[in-house]
A and B are shown apart, each in its own frame.
Chain A
């Protein structure tokens, strides 16, 4: 194995293949391959409407993926992304429809609320000193339950027309305007994690908490910041979905918001964010979501059986995590050498 890696530096094909299968370049290749395949198999795939629909779904899934990514980097996870997203948009929907607040104010309110719920997750994780799994499992039930009781499971379906029309904008090449929002958020996250002090501190704390603590990194604060950021991003995804649906629906993320869990984990894990924390790939998460969206959309266009798509995605996640494991293994070998 180590011999192979050694040869890899000299230009052998085998380890490079492993790299291609896991990093951003590999994702681009696979995605482009699927695009070419689907474009040839079905004319509907490249139709203006489909490109618009696809980019709109992609934009939402990318932000959902980011929302999980920023918590995975701490070595934790956030089962409550869907629940927070729904809670935030129900508040946003209420603010717009019932309280009659202007759209930017309502959106800001939803974002702040989502960030607050996320911060609560972070604080509970830090204070109770348990894994974020059990905390976010509990809060997912708590938040969702409270939301259903308060809203009586009723949708806000008379949102201002300007808000709904935000999701209908088309831009160059028929792409949805929401895609630019997702890209913009990605650039901000990249800048945050690679060019700011808190970003570097988060990465250090995620990679090795005790070492980071000894070097003066406020580990607890980084965990709370990440959870708050995750909550805010979940709210953004929720607002985008609300604009697309034209209504703030309590059921938009399924029972307890669990429908978001699969896209939330698929994108970062495919993109090479390690579940053990300390690494991050913003571009990878974007590309991971792109691959999943293209594949889902293509399978639906081909009408190979819309009911089987979920099973396919599960198999992809399984393969992705196995590759992720292999990559971690190879990286470990390299470090040992």
Chain B
């Protein structure tokens, strides 16, 4: 009885049930749902979106938000593709440069929000436009087409229904999970988000924590951007343009409190999984794929209403 109660109180249990029920219903009505290829397609999309969601989640943990997640991903993506095509740099170097872009963008966000004390919303709106503008300035809105064959091959490689991309994002998800639960800095993120003054009084350096959160967010967004290049097989300047809603939807569905201090990696994963499931259901049932926008909006509202109901402040 008490175990069941404890499970019900977690962020993820209800979501897991919802996911399983949804998946079972789809599997029963749509035979193609469980086909190897369909699962492969879903897992590929999942590998990417989960990093986008975690990139936003670490910022939500400190009680801020980051509108520039997609713009960082896009800039890292075109840099990654561009240095390979234009300068002919080897793949590992290109990956490092892509990561460096993520670190640089995250540092800029973190330093500006901390030093000026400005609302992260407006800072990241400005940097969104700086990063996206730089992306458009460099590419002149044209994609980089000549991606090395090895990168393309990796993007298509799969082990049964598991895309190789999932191994990369799976490793990163595991690292973020351990980081948020066990690492000192991870706990400090939540402490700062939960109660800034109390965190400061207990000797936590607020500036360091906030800047670190933005750097981690930048790196996760950059990895997502590079994985998008690998998946699309080209350095598309529009990568990241449509990440904003999913980046907030998944953590919020997963029980994150936007005021900070409470996030759930498991909840966020299930949030992404549920969105993927809905997306896939719309495709399989031949519903207008744009309806997913509508459903995502409704889902965010429902999640917020539910958290209000669970925890009336």
- Could you give, for residues 135-146 of chain A, a 1 whenever the CB lies within 8 Å of some chain B CB and a 0 otherwise? 101111111111
* A308 and B137 contact, Cβ closer than 8 Å, known pairs A138-B298, A139-B297, A142-B293: yes
- Max chain A Cβ within 10 angstroms of own Cβ: one of B127, B290, B298: B290
Judged by a CB distance under 8 angstroms, whether A130 is at the interface is yes
B232 in the interface (beta carbon within 8 A): no
B126, A145: Cβ atoms closer than 8 Å: no
Give A322 to B295 CA distance when docked, in angstroms.
37
A137 to B65 CA separation, bound complex (whole angstroms): 12
Would you give the shortest CB distance from A259 to chain B, in whole angstroms? 10
Most buried by B among A135, A261, A265, A317: A317
Measured CB to CB, the closest approach of chain B to A121, in angstroms, equals 11
- A262–B129 contact, CB under 8 A? yes
Residues from chain A with Cβ under 8 Å of B116 in the complex: 321-322, 325
- Give the nearest-CB partner of A264 in chain B: B125
Question: Quick one: CB contact mask for B296-313 with A, threshold 8 Å, 1 for yes?
Answer: 111011001100100001
Q: Mark A188-201, 1 if CB is under 8 A from B, else 0.
A: 00000000000000
- Chain B residues with CB below 8 A from A130, complex form: 258, 304, 308
B133: chain A residues within 8 A (beta carbon): 307-314
Whether B290 and A141, one on each chain, are in contact in the complex, defined by CB atoms closer than 8 angstroms, is: no
For A, the interface residue count at a CB cutoff of 8 angstroms equals 46
**Contact with A144, one of B125, B252, B258, B293 (Cβ below 8 angstroms):** B293
Q: Assess whether A131 is interfacial by the CB under 8 Å rule.
A: yes
- How many whole Å from A181's CB to the nearest CB in chain B? 27
- Does B195 count as interface, using CB distance less than 8 angstroms? no
Contact at B140–A307, with CB atoms within 8 Å?
yes
Question: Given the complex of chains A and B, what is the CA–CA distance between A307 and B308 in angstroms?
Answer: 44
Is A330 an interface residue, CB under 8 A from the partner? no
Chain B residues, Cβ within 8 Å of A318: 112, 123, 126-127, 130
Interface of A is mostly: helix
Bound Cα distance from A287 to B125, whole angstroms: 21
Instruction: Let me know if B136 and A314 touch, CB within 8 A.
Output: no
Once bound together, how far apart are the Cα atoms of A130 and B302, in whole Å? 13
CB contacts under 8 Å to A, within B88-135, are 112, 116-119, 121-123, 125-134
Could you tell me if A141 and B291 are in contact, using CB atoms closer than 8 angstroms?
A: no
Tell me the residues in window 134-165 of chain A with beta carbons closer than 8 Å to chain B beta carbons: 134-135, 137-146, 148-149, 152-153
- The segment from B41-49, B185-193, B240-248 found at the interface with A is B240-248
**In the complex the two chains form, is B304's CB within 8 Å of A134's CB?**
yes
A133 with B294, Cβ < 8 A, contacts A255-B241, A311-B137 known: no
* Chain B, Cβ-Cβ closest to A318: B126
Output the nearest chain B residue to A309 by Cβ-Cβ distance. B133
Known: A141-B245, A141-B297, A256-B245. A148 touches B290 (CB 8 A): yes
A269 contacts the other chain (CB 8 A): yes
| A243-284 residues at the B interface, CB under 8 angstroms | 255-256, 258, 261-262, 265, 269, 275
CB pair B290–A145 under 8 Å, yes or no, is yes
Enumerate chain A residues within 8 angstroms of B297, measured Cβ to Cβ.
Answer: 138-143, 145
Taking CB atoms, residues of chain A closer than 8 Å to B245 are: 137, 140-141, 256
CB < 8 Å neighbour of A322 from B118, B125, B136, B258: B118
In the complex, what residues of A have CB within 8 A of residue B21's CB? none
Shortest distance between the CB of A19 and any CB in chain B (Å) = 19
Whole-angstrom distance between the Cβ of B126 and the nearest chain A Cβ: 4
What's the minimum C-beta distance from B239 to chain A, rounded to whole angstroms? Answer: 13
Q: How far is the CB of B70 from chain A (nearest CB, A)?
A: 10
Given contacts A149-B288, A314-B127, A317-B129, are A133 and B65 in contact (CB under 8 A)? Answer: yes
Q: Does chain A have a CB within 8 A of B204?
A: no
For residue A315, CB closer than 8 A to chain B, the reply is: yes
The answer on a CB contact under 8 Å between A311 and B129 is yes
Residue of A nearest to B293 (CB): A145
Say whether, besides A134-B248, A315-B126, A318-B130, A129 and B294 are in contact (CB < 8 Å). no
Whether A149 contacts B118 by the Cβ 8 Å rule is no
The proximity string for A residues 291-311 relative to B, scoring 1 for CB distances below 8 Å and 0 otherwise, is 000000000000001011111
Contact call A134/B130, Cβ cutoff below 8 A: no
Known interface pairs A124-B301, A130-B304; A317-B241 also in contact (CB < 8 Å)? no
Q: Is A91 located at the chain interface by the 8 A CB criterion?
A: no
Q: Does B284 contact A (CB under 8 A)?
A: no
Q: Is the CB of B301 within 8 A of A317?
A: no
- Which of B118, B131, B295 is the most central at the interface, judged by chain A CB atoms within 10 Å of its CB? B118
Q: How far is the CB of A278 from chain B (nearest CB, A)?
A: 15
A275 is contacted by which of B119, B130, B252 (Cβ under 8 Å)? Answer: B119
Cα–Cα distance between A266 and B52 once the two chains are bound (Å): 27
A-B CB contact pairs (8 Å), 6 listed: A139-B301, A141-B293, A275-B119, A308-B137, A314-B129, A321-B126
Q: Beyond the given A134-B304, A145-B292, could you list 7 further A-B residue pairs with CB under 8 A, ordered by the A residue number?
A: A77-B121, A137-B248, A138-B298, A141-B294, A148-B293, A309-B133, A321-B123
Interfacial residues, chain A to chain B (CB-CB below 8 A): 77, 124, 128-131, 133-135, 137-146, 148-149, 152-153, 255-256, 258, 261-262, 265, 269, 275, 305, 307-315, 317-318, 321-322, 325
Interface residues of B (CB under 8 A from A): 65, 112, 116-119, 121-123, 125-134, 136-137, 140-141, 241-242, 244-245, 248-249, 252, 258, 288, 290-298, 300-301, 304-305, 308, 313
